[in-house]
Amino acid sequence: MHFKIAKDDKTNHRYSGVLVHPTSFPSPYGIGDLGQGAYDFVDFLAKAGQHLWQVLPLVPTTIGDSPYQGFSVFAGQPLLISPDLLVKAKLLDREDLKDLPVFDQDRVHYEEVLTFKTTLLKKAYANFLHTADKNLLEEYDAFCDSNEYWLEDYALFMAGKDYHKGLPWYEWEDTLLDPTEEERAEWMKELKDSVNYYRFVQYTFYCQWYDLKEYANSKGIAIIGDMPIFPCWDSADVWGNKKMFCLDSKGYPLEVAGVPPDYFSATGQLWGNPLYDWDAHAEDGYTWWIERLRNQLDQTDYVRIDHFRGFEAYWAVPFGEPTAMNGKWRKGPGEDLFLAVKKVLGDDLPIFAEDLGVITPEVERLRDMFDFPGMKVLQFGFDGDGESTFLPHQLDTRNCVCYTGTHDNNTSRGWYDDTSERNRDKIRRYMNTDASSVSWDFIRICLGTIAKYAIFPVQDLLKLGSDARMNIPGVPNGNWSFRYRAGLLDDGMAQGLKQLTELFGRFG
């Protein structure tokens, strides 16, 4: 089931919603999941008159816990699987959830959660192996068949990592690092149980996610997914598709991705992802990208592509450089990629373009050629002197998404508290406020812009400060752990947000 606000909607309808990753939901299991906390959030959105829910990438995360660095761009995050829903599916007993560890209600401690949930998932898998539920087995087989194009690589990759005690794939022996068909078959046989475990976990994730998505859509809420432009080096995507990336004979990148010095970092951001061999993708008809976007748009109703400007030109940093400062711009595939995608997936591509940072007229032309909404972040408009294009009165198109801030920004209250008095004075005068509830002032201004879409992080609804921000770019540890407690998104807040939303005509 899909609920889409038509991209070619010529009406004056304007829409709004909330940015929150499922890891932030309340739950007793140390991390937000796809269970009751998620359904309660969807109910809150409906009561508050919202039509959009934006998430971060839903992938299984690697070291550092960033959803922008995953073991697969296709797979789902096992830590989001709800134990309560596993009980409901008769894959766990309620007894299995007794004597829970004492988890932090305000922060995710990923190592603790990983240990706890892995134990539960392995119990669920053991029960699945002995199930007599024919419908469950048929659904599992159908899932494996329809997702074989990515699932087999992912399951074998993860089983290989377990076999090699977590070592990255480029440190494995040659028979699995770059296996022949015969060698691959031997590994599949040797690691059969582990491979099937990872298939089961993905089946379980997708079942829970699609049920939640159908519920959100039934409430008139569309989900905006998030897709990093580059996969992680130590991922099933790169391991299984080496010819599509610029690697040496041992699997090491020749150059890696990042961005030059910008608003977030004086030395740039060195992401470390291997770069695409775009000629190889073009020769293959961009099949990998088409399947990736098809999968993403099956998971969600829209997708925000992170670092959209990389399709026009990307920052290539020699492998081994300590910072991103000594890179070079190289040309991307440009319009050829999206023309190929449109031929297969249709003309109406529900894509939002993350067009922040160093944006050139060429990037803008690529974005506008396909009518992709770009991003406007209000914090940027009030940071410094002059007439920023991010100021509400400078927005020059309806076809954009206005944010109070993103996952990479400070919260609005935290930003206001930390910025200069000159900027604070500008905020107070511009918004005609005493700033006692400044995050809601930002939300009000965001709703009032001409932007067709207005989105604000849940932290701004909750008026939280800097300690609640989701990510500090360039800081490798301690991010992605924010959680909020049950009951904070109450009916009074929903009513207040609904009134503001209706005041500015954002009722869909």
Rounded Cα distance between 506 and 447, Å, is 8
- In this structure, is residue 145 part of a structural domain? no
Given a cut of 70, is residue 162 above it in pLDDT?
yes
Rounded Cα distance between 23 and 5, Å, is 26
Residue 289 sits in the same domain as residue 390: no
Rounded Cα distance between 113 and 101, Å, is 9
- In this structure, is residue 9 part of a structural domain? no
Q: What percent of the chain has pLDDT over 70?
A: 97
Q: Which of 371, 404, 419 lies at the terminal end of a domain, its last residue? A: 371
Per residue in 65-101, pLDDT tens? 999 999 999 999 999 999 999 999 999 999 999 989 9
Q: What percent of the chain has pLDDT over 90?
A: 92
Confidence of residue 261 (pLDDT cuts 50, 70, 90): confident
**According to the model, what pLDDT value does residue 358 have?**
80
- In this structure, is residue 227 part of a structural domain? no
Rounded Cα distance between 56 and 231, Å, is 14
**According to the model, what pLDDT value does residue 171 have?**
98
Residue 355 sits in the same domain as residue 377: no
pTM, whole model, 2 decimals?
0.96
Given a cut of 90, is residue 10 above it in pLDDT?
no
Given a cut of 80, is residue 6 above it in pLDDT?
no
Residue 252 sits in the same domain as residue 366: yes
Distance of CA 45 to the CA centre of its chain: 19
**According to the model, what pLDDT value does residue 266 have?**
86
Given a cut of 70, is residue 321 above it in pLDDT?
yes
Residue 476 per-residue DSSP state:
-
Confidence of residue 247 (pLDDT cuts 50, 70, 90): very high
Confidence of residue 385 (pLDDT cuts 50, 70, 90): confident
Q: Which of 320, 345, 371 lies at the terminal end of a domain, its last residue? A: 371
**According to the model, what pLDDT value does residue 5 have?**
52
- Please name which of 270, 252, 272 lies closest in space to residue 325, comparing C-alpha atoms: 270
Residue 436 sits in the same domain as residue 337: no
Residue 359 sits in the same domain as residue 397: no
Q: Which of 341, 371, 401 lies at the terminal end of a domain, its last residue? A: 371
Residue 342 sits in the same domain as residue 271: yes
Per residue in 429-440, pLDDT tens? 999 999 999 999
DSSP 20-45: --GGGS--TTSS--SSHHHHHHHHHH
Contact by Cβ (8 Å): 435, 388: no
Confidence of residue 8 (pLDDT cuts 50, 70, 90): very low
Confidence of residue 420 (pLDDT cuts 50, 70, 90): very high
Per residue in 16-38, pLDDT tens? 999 999 999 999 999 999 999 99
- In this structure, is residue 234 part of a structural domain? no
Confidence of residue 11 (pLDDT cuts 50, 70, 90): low
Supply the range of the domain harboring residue 403: 373-470
Per residue in 393-413, pLDDT tens? 999 999 999 999 999 999 999
**According to the model, what pLDDT value does residue 507 have?**
80
Rounded Cα distance between 219 and 305, Å, is 25
**According to the model, what pLDDT value does residue 2 have?**
45
**Element at 335 (helix H, strand E):** helix 335-345
Residue 499 per-residue DSSP state:
H
Residue 421 sits in the same domain as residue 444: yes
Residue 276 sits in the same domain as residue 256: yes
Residue 359 sits in the same domain as residue 408: no
Residue 451 sits in the same domain as residue 343: no
- In this structure, is residue 425 part of a structural domain? yes
Assign residue 217 a region (left: φ > 0; alpha: ψ between -120 and 50; beta: otherwise).
Answer: alpha
Per residue in 210-227, pLDDT tens? 999 999 999 999 999 999
Residue 266 sits in the same domain as residue 363: yes
Per residue in 446-505, pLDDT tens? 999 999 999 999 999 999 999 999 999 878 788 999 999 999 999 999 999 999 999 999
- In this structure, is residue 421 part of a structural domain? yes
What lies within 8 Å, CB to CB, of 444 at 6+ separation is 431, 500
Domain count, the chain: 2
- In this structure, is residue 330 part of a structural domain? yes
Per residue in 104-128, pLDDT tens? 999 999 999 999 999 999 999 999 9
- In this structure, is residue 177 part of a structural domain? no
Q: Among 6-15, 72-81, 138-147, 336-345, whose mean pLDDT is lowest? A: 6-15
Residue 386 sits in the same domain as residue 329: no
Distance of CA 452 to the CA centre of its chain: 21
Mean pLDDT within 285-296 = 98
Q: Show which residues are catalytic.
A: 306, 354, 408
